[in-house]
Amino acid sequence: MSTSKPWWKQPLRILDYNYLIQVDNYDFREYVKTCKELHANVVHFHPADGNRGGWSEDVFYFRTGLATVQHRDILAEAIPLLHEAGIKVIAYTCGHWFPKRFIDKHPDWWAIRQDGSQVEHLYGDDDTTTCVNTPWRDWAFTLVEDLFSYDIDGMLWDGPIMFLDRGACYCESCKAKFRQQYARDMPAWNRDEKEDWQQLAEFSSSSLRDFYRDSYEIVKKIKPDSCIYLNAGNVGEPSWLVGRGNRGLMPYQDMLMSEGGFMYGRVSDNMFKTTASLKLYETQAGGKPCSVAVSPAFGSWRSHHLSKPEMRVLLAESSFGGNPYAAMWLESGISPAYEGIADVYGFLEKNEAYYEDTRSAANVALFHSLNTVDNYTGLDVPYCDLSGMKAKPAEAIGNFTRSFHGFQEMLERLRVPFNIVDEELIEGGGLAKYDLLIMPNCACTSDALCKWIGDYVANGGTVIADFETSHLDDKGVRRNEIGLADVFGVSSHNETYGPRRWDFVHVCESSADVFSSLSQRFIPAPNYNMRVSATTGEVAAVFGKPLISNITKDYQPSDEPFLVVNRHGSGTSYYIPGTFSQMFAERHVHCFVEIVGGIIDREIKLPVEVSGPPHFINVSVRKQGDNRTLVQLVNYELRPVTEVIRALDLKIKVRTSAQVASVRALRLDKDLAFACSDDGVVISLPELGEFEVLAIDTV
Ligand SMILES: [Zn+2]
């Protein structure tokens, strides 16, 4: 590692190796040996035996005045060994999970609901939690100071979080703080009272920010060159759920880390989570490093693991633009998943130079609208292995979560490299580098955001949007006219039509070229649509009139637009008022991929195009300095579970105006043949296992 910048801005290979099953007699020379064998350069070190129902005053395995039982001092034993081996030590610190035997002694620390009941049952029947606004915070800060009396290199806060979703917190400390902040009593917990709810949500998030701000200041005073981060919010997680708004917490952490590689089942059943996580974290980290935590755990059966190819895929996805984190447990013994960690971390160590200071070169942006996540009715709350957070599918007609992942899957199927953007990036002028913006039912948009997007399209950008995009303001209040009416070239009647059962879409003859990529004449209609009328836009296709039976010969077009194409300044908007991407996520209507692919072909040139076998392959592209392009291919064909289906004879076209000097396949560990063309280079890749990284050097 070079010394010119903070150590955590170098490529990290983080290992969370949990030895707590043998904490009383474990030999930490074995621990260091394992870390070296797995090529880790950072460890999450567990200084307390949290396996006994959470953190408590009787489970600390380091010296602190808070301890009531004197155990072994494993921090003192392990730190010198790890440092001698060149490994950084991050103290894992639990701030959200405590056994009742401990917290019951401190009723003024409890997170409680309006009716006075305590929040409990986080992972079982004998645990509970605390509130950050109570005097518990002083106990936590003492703990932090005591941890940093050791030569640790940083800390990971696993919580605290807030519990608004579970009806808390209405403790006396919260009530007093709320009164001070808003000059009124805390309102009742009721999601239907919008203004009250927004105040409760903001109070919850700001209370959490206050805690992490104060903790950060304490640590940085003791050790300025330490790396601090917390277990952050996931893709699609509303900030009111547990108060973790990632953007708002970034000033108080040095890296954004979250559990985007915790799969809770087979990887092939949730193929897009890890990629989406990395791309969102990279944006939200705003220039700081990010990390995707990957667990080999198969669902709740923590000691049964994913297969070796599954681990390789997850870690490859996590490392291209971020820092991978892998979890392990001593009790699991040798597992194929651990061999996968050793393999990928060994690869990353060997090729570390290719992973330093890279930046995405994608020209397609997929919008993860946080205002929609926070304020739209149609949101599936994702499952998360934190304090018993449950998945909650939405019952509303329009759904942001499914629309987002629907468009993501279409881009992945088209092998389009893309980034994920949010409001803060767009409102900071961040769209300028993109040729295409996709808005998946981004219903809640501020006036300012709509102006940024209008200017982006007017200046030559392309936008694809669907269903209720910009129909509500950023707080979720319905507008009289949609925010992007001028850009889309439509006026909305603010009415939903549907459900359609078996209707089709009719292409307008004058716009047949927009649909030239279709392999079939009939296009299934999305189940619902917003009723709109074109103003300046051209209707390229319409919904059919409702069919009274799916066995019929009476196909008639209606006047309800399915696709409106609008020139706006120098750019073009493609607005589909139907639940297009949501229906793709639910039904995988393949011609929807062809429609999006056709628009992409018409409007933009991709930096990388991959052809060859029909494998499902994720394509990402990054730049390093001025003369190197890096292309990562991740093979999603994991249905056989213990093996990946190898892809043979791929052709990769990389667009560049510079002269290509060499192409190296880092995973195959060899130089590849390439042929130059007018606008770039075509590379032949003989075979693709789980992943490959191509380094294209130009002169
Ligand atoms: Zn409270």
Q: Are residues 579 and 441 in the same domain?
A: yes
Residue 389 CA to ligand 1 center (angstroms) comes to 19
Q: Are residues 579 and 667 in the same domain?
A: no
In a domain, 359, yes or no: no
Query: 């597992």: which residue's tokens?
Result: 335
Residue 201 CA to ligand 1 center (angstroms) comes to 13
Residue 110 CA to ligand 1 center (angstroms) comes to 7
For residue range 667-680, what is the model confidence (pLDDT) as tens digits? 999 999 999 988 99
Phi-psi domain of 249 (left: phi exceeds 0; alpha: psi -120 through 50; beta: other): alpha
Residue 337 CA to ligand 1 center (angstroms) comes to 41
Residue 130 CA to ligand 1 center (angstroms) comes to 8
- Which of 560, 580, 603 is a domain's end point? 603
Q: Are residues 460 and 406 in the same domain?
A: yes
Residue 380 CA to ligand 1 center (angstroms) comes to 27
Residue 161 CA to ligand 1 center (angstroms) comes to 11
Q: Are residues 538 and 449 in the same domain?
A: yes
Residue 109 CA to ligand 1 center (angstroms) comes to 8
Q: What is the CATH number of the domain that holds 653?
A: 2.60.40.1180
Q: Are residues 318 and 410 in the same domain?
A: no
Q: How many other CB atoms sit within 10 Å of the CB of residue 357? A: 11
pTM given for the model: 0.97
- What single letter denotes the amino acid at residue 563? L
Q: Which domain holds residue 670?
A: 608-698
- Which of 558, 587, 603 is a domain's end point? 603
In a domain, 294, yes or no: yes
For residue range 407-424, what is the model confidence (pLDDT) as tens digits? 999 999 999 999 999 999
For residue range 313-358, what is the model confidence (pLDDT) as tens digits? 999 999 999 999 999 999 988 899 999 999 999 999 999 999 999 9
Residue 213 CA to ligand 1 center (angstroms) comes to 17
Residue 168 CA to ligand 1 center (angstroms) comes to 7
Q: Are residues 556 and 641 in the same domain?
A: no
Q: Are residues 285 and 312 in the same domain?
A: yes
* Distance in angstroms (rounded) separating the CA atoms of residues 654 and 606: 9
Residue 68 CA to ligand 1 center (angstroms) comes to 26
Q: Are residues 368 and 477 in the same domain?
A: yes
Residue 174 CA to ligand 1 center (angstroms) comes to 4
In a domain, 245, yes or no: no
Residue 119 has pLDDT above 60, yes or no: yes
For residue range 221-260, what is the model confidence (pLDDT) as tens digits? 999 999 999 999 999 999 999 999 999 999 999 999 999 8
In a domain, 201, yes or no: no
Residue 207: exposed, middle, or buried by beta-carbon count in 10 A (0-12, 13-18, 19+)?
Answer: buried
Residue 170 CA to ligand 1 center (angstroms) comes to 5
In percent, the amount of the chain with pLDDT more than 70 equals 98
Residue 100 CA to ligand 1 center (angstroms) comes to 17
In a domain, 376, yes or no: yes
Residue 385 CA to ligand 1 center (angstroms) comes to 23
Q: Are residues 591 and 472 in the same domain?
A: yes
- What single letter denotes the amino acid at residue 352? E
Residue 108 CA to ligand 1 center (angstroms) comes to 9
Check residue 300 and give its pLDDT: 82
Q: Are residues 333 and 266 in the same domain?
A: yes
In a domain, 661, yes or no: yes
In a domain, 454, yes or no: yes
Quote the number of domains for the chain: 3
Q: Are residues 515 and 627 in the same domain?
A: no
In a domain, 9, yes or no: no
Residue 143 CA to ligand 1 center (angstroms) comes to 20
Residue 622 has pLDDT above 70, yes or no: yes
Q: Are residues 333 and 303 in the same domain?
A: yes
Residue 177 CA to ligand 1 center (angstroms) comes to 9
- Which of 554, 586, 603 is a domain's end point? 603
5: Cβ–Cβ under 8 A, 6 or more apart, which residues? none
82's tokens:
């790890």
The residue-averaged pLDDT of 267-281 equals 95
Residue 140 CA to ligand 1 center (angstroms) comes to 15
Residue 132 CA to ligand 1 center (angstroms) comes to 7
CB 314 within 8 A of CB 293: no
Residue 163 CA to ligand 1 center (angstroms) comes to 9
Nearest to 506 by CA among 566, 462, 546, 464: 546
Q: What is the CATH number of the domain that holds 399?
A: 3.40.50.880
Residue 182 CA to ligand 1 center (angstroms) comes to 16
